[in-house]
Amino acid sequence: MKHCKRQTGTDIFLNTLNEYFANSIDQTLSSEQVLVRMLGMIDRRTGQRRLLKMEPSIKHEHEMMAYFYKLRMKAEKQTACLPG
């Protein structure tokens, strides 16, 4: 009888981190995994122009993505990198 090992929360989190670290920022931001996309949102490889281009589509994203987008935009404005 073959035993099927269930993934623990730690396994899932580590797999998510592996995906994040192994991929380009384009792949990260288009991942099916919300957590991977959220990490991409706060990644410095996600530049100012890309952030601004994402604004129209962010309302269609998962609510946590929208939260991280707002958080990142606030940080960018505080460092005087973006208008507003």
Instruction: Confirm whether 22 is domain-assigned.
Output: yes
How many independent structural domains does the chain possess?
Answer: 1
Instruction: Confirm whether 54 is domain-assigned.
Output: yes
- pTM summary value: 0.79
Instruction: Confirm whether 1 is domain-assigned.
Output: no
Please give the average per-residue pLDDT across 35-59, as a whole number: 93
* The pLDDT value given to residue 78: 80
Instruction: Confirm whether 47 is domain-assigned.
Output: yes
Q: Are 25 and 40 in contact (CB under 8 A)?
A: yes
Q: Are 29 and 37 in contact (CB under 8 A)?
A: yes
Instruction: Confirm whether 3 is domain-assigned.
Output: no
* The pLDDT value given to residue 3: 65
Domain boundaries, position 19 = 9-78
Quote the mean pLDDT of the chain: 89
Instruction: Confirm whether 69 is domain-assigned.
Output: yes
Instruction: Confirm whether 40 is domain-assigned.
Output: yes
Instruction: Confirm whether 4 is domain-assigned.
Output: no
